[in-house]
Amino acid sequence: MKATHTPPTIASVEPTPADVLRAAAVYLERYDWAQGEFFARPNPAGSALFQPACAVGAICAAATGRSIAALGDIPSGPDGYLVDRALHLLASYLDGSDVESGAADLIADWNDEQGRTLVDVILALTDAARDWDRHHPRGGESS
């Protein structure tokens, strides 16, 4: 490259809550699903090992790239904001209304209902993501 050339820039695209929900669905397909806790087995010291997760745990892992033991452990900043947005999107989808607070609790209760299945959770994650995309088209895409 000549000194007068400007290197190309790569546009950064921030993930949407729908992107996080789809990634959470993939996480559950790959690593399996849990009820009653964020992750089926404790993940010591935030190691990179992935294990079965509940819907909330999968959303946290998808947004942050690591296992989160509890909601209080979600980092502040962009990752925490992304987790919060994705949780609210799924909770609002499940509840049928705009959930103002308690999104994680609503999702956890729904996830832990007797008779709930992995398929139910994956469908809810992907359907909520699809619903978001329908209402928030990117770059003038038509839906």
Q: What is the mean pLDDT of residues 89-102?
A: 91
pLDDT higher than 50, residue 106:
yes
| 142 domain residue, yes or no | no
Q: What is the mean pLDDT of residues 80-90?
A: 94
Burial of 32 (0-12, 13-18, 19+ CB in 10 A): middle
CA 37, CA 69: separation in Å to the nearest integer?
Answer: 9
Give pLDDT tens digits for 73-83.
Answer: 887 888 889 99
| 9 domain residue, yes or no | no
Total domains present in the chain: 1
- Mean pLDDT for the chain overall: 85
Give pLDDT tens digits for 18-69.
Answer: 999 999 999 999 999 999 988 776 555 555 567 899 999 999 999 998 887 7
DSSP assignment of 48-60 equals S----B-HHHHHH
| 140 domain residue, yes or no | no
| 64 domain residue, yes or no | yes
Which of 27-31, 114-118, 135-139 is the least confident region? 135-139
Q: What is the mean pLDDT of residues 103-125?
A: 97
Task: Tell me which residue range forms the domain holding 115.
Answer: 17-135
| 2 domain residue, yes or no | no
Residue with tokens 């992750």: 39
Q: Does residue 8 sit in helix, strand or coil?
A: coil
Cα 69 to chain center, whole Å?
Answer: 15
| 99 domain residue, yes or no | yes
